[in-house]
A and B are shown apart, each in its own frame.
Chain A
Amino acid sequence: EVLSGVVVITSKDTVQHQGISLTMEGSVNLQLSAKSVGVFEAFYNSVKPIQIINSTIEMVKPGKLPSGKTEIPFEFPLHMKGNKVLYETYHGVFVNIQYTLRCDMRRSLLAKDLTKTCEFIVHSLSQKGKLMPSPVDFTITPETLQNVKERASLPKFLIRGHLSSTNCIITQPLTGELVVENAEAAVKSIELQLVRVETCGCAEGYARDATEIQNIQIADGDVCRGLPIPIYMVFPRLFTCPTLETTNFKVEFEVNIVVLLHDDHLITENFPLKLCRM
């Protein structure tokens, strides 16, 4: 694909310059979370940005630009370095995939060089083929829970539901239904928690960190028993990308259904998701 646009230069007087160039850069930045710094300190230092793309073109040869507004159109082909893959733009906490376009105007020694940077977004092309929907039915009862200290003290409840698919198209919302069939304690709130799991690592070891992206309340208060409540969540742009697995890092997503009962019991059910762009 070709990145195209115009560079606009506005000035009152004529501008003397030593050439204008455009630089395209794309890189993956990996960072370790604070909690893992101690353990992997040595490793931390070794994490370097992984460059995906870097190329420069000369737009204008040294010379003068007339006064007023000058528009210089450009077209920039996106060529990969070697056999590297062009990942989608992604802004996470520990993994950042960013593409920028920088325009430099070099000037004489007396004047500072002028630089302007602009981020551009890369969406991968739609994957060919049909996505197989993978519906999930779930039932949550005190018995299904793990990680419970005193199972006896739990109020009785039965929550059923389904997710239409855990294979999700990133532009389509996550849908499903949830029914509180019965619950001894009053429901305070039911939330959908979208979590990304970023894994950075290589041969020496890896760090896996889960962070919340967004939290959507789907029920507020003690809802009607037996009435299906819709599960519906739009994937936020920029904070999600198709699930990504490379040798150096992974970006995966999960959704938690969180039921908060009035006696402050917190019930969480986790579903890994696979996002893709169609």
Chain B
Amino acid sequence: MAAFPWHARSRNYVSESEVCKLESVPLDFGDYHPLKPITVTESKTKKMNRKGSTSSTSSSSSSSMMDPLSSVLDGTDPLSLFAAAADPVMTTATMDSTRKKRDKDDSSAVGSDFEPWSSKRGEILARYTTTEKLSINLYIGSEKGKTTTTGSAVSEKVRTRLEELDDLEEGSQKELLNLTQQDYMNRIEELNQSLKDAWSSDQKVKALKIVIQCSKLLSDTTVIQFYPSKFVLITDILDTFGKLVYERILSMCVDSRVSLPDNFSPESVNDTAKETCLNWFFKIASIRELIPRFYVEAAILKCNKFLSKTGISECLPRLTSMIRGIGDPLVAVYARAYLCRVLLTEMMERCKKLGNNALLLNSVMSAFRAEFIAARSMDFIGMIKECDESGFPKHLLFRSLGLNLALADPPENDRLQILNEAWKVITKLKNPQDYINCAEVWVEYTCRHFTEREVNTVLADVIKHMTPDRAFEDAYPQLQSIIHKVITYIYDFSLLFSVEKFLPFLDMFQKESVRVEVCKCIMESFIKHQQESTKDPVILNALLHICKTMHDSVNALTLEDEKRMLAALINGFIKMVSFGRDFEQQLSFYVEARSMFCNLEPVLVQLIHSVNQLAMETRKVMKGNHSRKTAAFVRACVAFCFITIPSLSSIFTCLNLYLHSGQVALANQCLSQADAFFKAAVSLVPEVPRMISVDGKMRPSDAFLLEFLCNFFSTLLVVPDHPEQGVLFLVRGLLNVIQDYTWEDNSDNKVRIYTNVLHLLSAMTQEAYIYHVDKVDSNDTLYGGDSKFLAEINKLCETVIAQILDHLKNLGKEETLKRQSQLALSFFNTILAHGDLRNNKLNQLSVNLWNLAQKHGFADTKTMVKTLEYIKRQSKQPEMSHFTDLALRLPLQSRT
């Protein structure tokens, strides 16, 4: 085969870049730009929700369903909309609205001191579900008694109503069997709806009937795991009913358009309202069955306010003892729960009066809202002190109190006293387990409200208690939790390490796995909270110690993930260390770190990057002109990298770091060092295995190698030849390595690399290179376009082209024709871009390649057309007129 001499096209990079550069257009603030952050306004969602709930109160059930599609069209963010409706049990909007209304009620009636029922409610519904079949027993009263009381005497009216009540009990029983949970919930929701409908159409008796029926369902415990959810659903209905009655009576109190104030007294209630209210209580008192009577009375208990001031608290003991009549313990407990829910405030008063009951106190502290407890902390401490130790250990009570105080703030003035009082008791606890369980909780309170001094005292106390007999060994979880709390509140690390007892505290973690966990925790907090880099020797020493602990835990059995995580934490720390302008100190820190963390490769990689960055930083400070001192320093940095890289096991990491460090060395005018890096890289290439492990899977390595080599080529363009080595020593060396490398069979990667080599060589022949390294003379300056140099390059090109053509010829077999076509086109494009097509031989070669690409019908017609169009367009450029002829010689093969 005839050799094709290469004639590179001469380029004027400056003018080309000017022609190709896009015109820059100034962008106004409001203009659209694809990279601008997308802002989403959420205000619309809120508005939507409000609309939804108000419309649904008017007892029309279907109209108020939100349409997610239309709201998206409104421009609302679908995610926030979804979040707004994310409650999994909210099946209809009406349910939602009742819930919202109730939320409001709860907060206004009981105050914000209590954990809102709404949050508990959702939890219960989500947790207690069943797949078993359920049944509802409904007594559908006959429809005859439809309030035909117009015109009759009052007594008759009342009689009919009472008869209807009887009806309800004797009416036809309808049992719905085999309901799924969803059916059941729908059914109950229907009842809720018909309750409202009945109420709004003035069928009060029917409403009462529905409520009675519903509460009757609570006596059925057949599917016990669903009972809590059933309780929630049915008490919802009861709440609705109680509210309807209350509002109705309240509306009757409106005299001359002045409604009652929130805290009205019974004297200001007029007689009609009182009479109506009394009537309700009479009606309910005549309900035959115990459970409905209890629930319905509890539901409207609030209405006692209209009758007398003390009414509610008088009813409470009676209702409580009424529950004793409920035989089924589960039903009875839930009945009590409902009573507590309706009457939280009164319940608390009673609890206080009873007092001195440790178990009760503990239940109160664990069930009521933290704010409520916190506000009365001193009272509680008093009560706890008076408690009888025998029934329920005091430390548990203090623990419960502490848990509340960790969540809510007690009054400002009491805070120190609370801590003193509590700690006085805690420190006297003999049993280390009891002690640590309490202390763990109170540490949070201390951190929350006091300074490092108090935290230090507390930590010292813990150390004192836990050290004897190595008690800490049994309390690692608690001790860990203490550390966790301390660093949550004290995240300024200079403050944290000023807490004297913090490091001694860490020494208690003597089991390695726990120790490492704690270290990880501290480092996470550091990375999360440290804003500015630091050189504080206290922090550095302490954290180096902590990191060392983490590093030393790595052994042959450590999982990859664990290693990765530890390395990420250590790297995060290394990145935050800065000695400012004291570069030497910085380097010696890196050297120290390298010796400490040699087992974690990612840390070494980070260190190499950091040192490279340090070198570049130095260059920047010196504005490129190194003094003797800085030059020596930079060489020290380079040397650091050079000796560190070989210790890494991942070959591609090494290659890339060699290249990267070489670039840094070049930039800092350390030419021989740069050469050394590049040489090392070249000699490492043959060792690249054919398959490498990526994320635990074996993958062919050639794609990575290709990428690396292309990157390498672009650097090699500017690397000046070593005066003692031959022309293009590095390029030749690399070509030899590529030639000898055992490439994957059936792959064209070698040839792809060769075409890229052609690009490099073409760029090298230019008079002025496309880019340079500041203050480094590349070959263009060194040789000044010397013909011997050019001839050398052309010889290389010739060899490369021969290799490519050889490979193309080998692809002439049936099964490889497609690859042949692609490669031919790619080579064609290379010639088009970099070759001088005025040269006949090259011109002929390109025409042949074009034809070869199309020969077997594997060429993509679109690409061919585009290419041809490009050629025609180029021909209009000055000095490119020969493209016109070329275009004429390139036929397009239509695929038929």
Footprint of B on A, CB under 8 Å? 89, 91, 98, 100, 117-119, 121, 173, 187, 190-191, 214-224, 227-230, 232-234, 236-238
6 contacts between A and B (CB under 8 A): A219-B325, A220-B328, A221-B331, A224-B327, A230-B322, A233-B285
B153 near A232 with CB under 8 A, answer: no
B32 sits at the interface (CB 8 A): no
Give the CA-CA distance A216 to B324 in the complex, in Å.
15
B301 shortest CB reach to chain A, Å: 15
A214 near B327 with CB under 8 A, answer: no
A224 near B324 with CB under 8 A, answer: yes
Q: Which residues of A contact B324 (CB under 8 A)?
A: 219, 223-224, 227-230
Footprint of A on B, CB under 8 Å? 153-155, 158-159, 162, 219, 281-282, 285-291, 293, 318, 321-322, 324-328, 331
Q: Which residues of B contact A217 (CB under 8 A)?
A: 288-290, 293, 325
B153 near A119 with CB under 8 A, answer: yes
Query: Smallest CB-CB separation from A237: which chain B residue?
Result: B282
B153 interface neighbour in A100, A216, A219, A220, Cβ under 8 Å:
A100
Can you add 7 more A-B contacts, CB < 8 Å, to A191-B288, A216-B287, A236-B282? Answer: A119-B153, A121-B154, A214-B286, A217-B289, A220-B290, A220-B327, A223-B327
Query: Smallest CB-CB separation from A231: which chain B residue?
Result: B325
A234 near B325 with CB under 8 A, answer: no
A230 interface neighbour in B219, B321, B331, Cβ under 8 Å:
B321
Query: Smallest CB-CB separation from B320: which chain A residue?
Result: A230
Query: Smallest CB-CB separation from B278: which chain A residue?
Result: A237
A215-B326 in contact given A91-B155, A237-B282 (Cβ < 8 Å):
no
Query: Smallest CB-CB separation from B291: which chain A residue?
Result: A220
B290 interface neighbour in A98, A218, A224, A236, Cβ under 8 Å:
A218
Q: Which residues of B contact A234 (CB under 8 A)?
A: 281-282, 285-286
B318 near A230 with CB under 8 A, answer: yes
A229 near B325 with CB under 8 A, answer: yes
A10 shortest CB reach to chain B, Å: 15
A220 near B282 with CB under 8 A, answer: no
Give the CA-CA distance A118 to B156 in the complex, in Å.
11
Query: Smallest CB-CB separation from B221: which chain A residue?
Result: A221
B289 interface neighbour in A98, A220, A222, A227, Cβ under 8 Å:
A220
- CB < 8 Å A-B pair total: 83
Q: Which residues of B contact A224 (CB under 8 A)?
A: 324, 327
Q: Which residues of B contact A118 (CB under 8 A)?
A: 153
Q: Which residues of A contact B219 (CB under 8 A)?
A: 220-221
B829 shortest CB reach to chain A, Å: 90
A219-B155 in contact given A228-B321, A229-B325, A230-B318 (Cβ < 8 Å):
no
A216 near B327 with CB under 8 A, answer: no
Q: Which residues of B contact A100 (CB under 8 A)?
A: 153
Give the CA-CA distance A236 to B282 in the complex, in Å.
7
Chain A interface, >50% SS class: strand
A218 near B325 with CB under 8 A, answer: yes
B603 shortest CB reach to chain A, Å: 68
B325 near A216 with CB under 8 A, answer: no
Q: Which residues of A contact B158 (CB under 8 A)?
A: 238
Q: Which residues of A contact B326 (CB under 8 A)?
A: 219-221, 223
A119 interface neighbour in B155, B288, B321, Cβ under 8 Å:
B155
Give the CA-CA distance A237 to B291 in the complex, in Å.
22
A194 shortest CB reach to chain B, Å: 10
Q: Which residues of B contact A221 (CB under 8 A)?
A: 219, 326-328, 331
A262 shortest CB reach to chain B, Å: 10
Give the CA-CA distance A169 to B115 in the complex, in Å.
43
Query: Smallest CB-CB separation from B279: which chain A residue?
Result: A237
Question: Which 8 residue pairs are nearest across A and B when measured between Cβ atoms?
Answer: A221-B327, A219-B325, A119-B153, A234-B285, A217-B290, A222-B327, A220-B290, A230-B321
A232-B155 in contact given A214-B286, A215-B288 (Cβ < 8 Å):
no
Q: Which residues of A contact B162 (CB under 8 A)?
A: 236
Q: Which residues of A contact B159 (CB under 8 A)?
A: 91, 238
A232 near B322 with CB under 8 A, answer: yes
A216-B322 in contact given A187-B327, A238-B155, A238-B158 (Cβ < 8 Å):
no
Query: Smallest CB-CB separation from B329: which chain A residue?
Result: A224
A216 near B293 with CB under 8 A, answer: yes
Interface centre among B288, B290, B326 (most CB of A within 10 A): B290
Q: Which residues of A contact B328 (CB under 8 A)?
A: 220-221
Give the CA-CA distance A89 to B162 in the complex, in Å.
18
Give the CA-CA distance A221 to B290 in the complex, in Å.
10
A234 shortest CB reach to chain B, Å: 4
Q: Which residues of A contact B289 (CB under 8 A)?
A: 217, 220
Give the CA-CA distance A220 to B281 in the complex, in Å.
21
A190-B325 in contact given A91-B155, A91-B159, A237-B282 (Cβ < 8 Å):
yes
Q: Which residues of A contact B287 (CB under 8 A)?
A: 216
A222 shortest CB reach to chain B, Å: 4
Q: Which residues of B contact A121 (CB under 8 A)?
A: 154-155
Give the CA-CA distance A119 to B153 in the complex, in Å.
6
Q: Which residues of B contact A218 (CB under 8 A)?
A: 290, 322, 325
A12 shortest CB reach to chain B, Å: 20
Interface centre among B153, B158, B289, B324 (most CB of A within 10 A): B324
Give the CA-CA distance A238 to B156 in the complex, in Å.
10
Give the CA-CA distance A216 to B286 in the complex, in Å.
7
Interface centre among A121, A223, A224, A230 (most CB of B within 10 A): A230
A119 near B154 with CB under 8 A, answer: yes
B159 shortest CB reach to chain A, Å: 7
A219-B327 in contact given A91-B159, A236-B286 (Cβ < 8 Å):
yes
A235 shortest CB reach to chain B, Å: 9
Give the CA-CA distance A236 to B287 in the complex, in Å.
11
A36 shortest CB reach to chain B, Å: 24
Give the CA-CA distance A118 to B155 in the complex, in Å.
10
Query: Smallest CB-CB separation from A189: which chain B residue?
Result: B290
Give the CA-CA distance A250 to B154 in the complex, in Å.
25
Query: Smallest CB-CB separation from B169: which chain A residue?
Result: A215
Give the CA-CA distance A232 to B319 in the complex, in Å.
10
B155 near A220 with CB under 8 A, answer: no
Give the CA-CA distance A214 to B289 in the complex, in Å.
11
B293 near A230 with CB under 8 A, answer: no
Q: Which residues of A contact B318 (CB under 8 A)?
A: 230, 232
Give the CA-CA distance A109 to B603 in the complex, in Å.
117
Query: Smallest CB-CB separation from A178: which chain B residue?
Result: B325
B154 near A216 with CB under 8 A, answer: no
Give the CA-CA distance A219 to B321 in the complex, in Å.
11
Give the CA-CA distance A102 to B326 in the complex, in Å.
49
Q: Which residues of A contact B281 (CB under 8 A)?
A: 234
B69 shortest CB reach to chain A, Å: 50
Q: Which residues of B contact A233 (CB under 8 A)?
A: 285
